[in-house]
Amino acid sequence: MGHVPTHLRASNGLPFFTAESRQWMESRTGQTINFHRLSIENPSRHKLAVDGLASTKEYFQASNHPDLPDRSMVLSVFHSFRHSWVHRSFPLLHPDLLHYTMEAAYENRTSDASPDASTARACIFAFIAFIGSSPFGLAVTHDTNLQQYGHEAQYLLSEALDETASLDGIQALLML
């Protein structure tokens, strides 16, 4: 059906929802939804999308890009996160699929679960930035530039906005 993330495109919404999804939403709400206003084909939306993406990419292309954080540190932080109360309240990373994200981010080995290495890297940067800047008591090494990690996640996601939505991308967006 149309409730699967692969039926969305992150920046332009084409195809935003399948015909079945639209009918389902209209049957539940009793309202006809104007999906055209969300479409990239809508002239005002197109201009906003193009201008916004261009300025984001231009800003970040001039910046220094950090290396991925140490893999063992990410796994250690995730282990602490997973066994804390925070994970029950904020299940931001799928624990059974994290190894696919790590393989895509660190080894460029993509899979059905993690189809894009750039988005997987964004997910890793967003996770460390989120955990390190949150008041949950989960420690990240002191030499980590959390703000730069957050910016890098945003930059990597701006490159992936025209791709099919993925779990890594959705998780990164939730953490940012």
CB-CB contact of 173 with 166 (8 Å):
no
- CA dist 67 and 36 (Å) reads 40
User: Cα 140–122–40 angle (5° rounding)?
Assistant: 145
> What's the token pair of residue 57?
């990419």
Cα separation of 70 and 47, whole Å?
A: 39
Per residue in 97-114, pLDDT (tens digit) is 999 999 999 999 999 999
Residues present in the chain in total: 176
pLDDT score, position 88: 83
SS3 call for 151:
helix
* Least confidently predicted of 39-48, 56-65, 90-99, 140-149: 39-48
Write down the mean pLDDT value for the chain.
78
pLDDT tens track for 30-41: 888 776 666 656
Indicate the pTM of the whole model.
Answer: 0.66
DSSP element (H, E) containing 173: helix 167-175
Q: Confidence band (pLDDT; 50, 70, 90) for 91? A: confident
Phi, psi angle pair for 27, to nearest 5°: -70, -30
Nearest to 93 by CA among 157, 144, 148, 167: 167
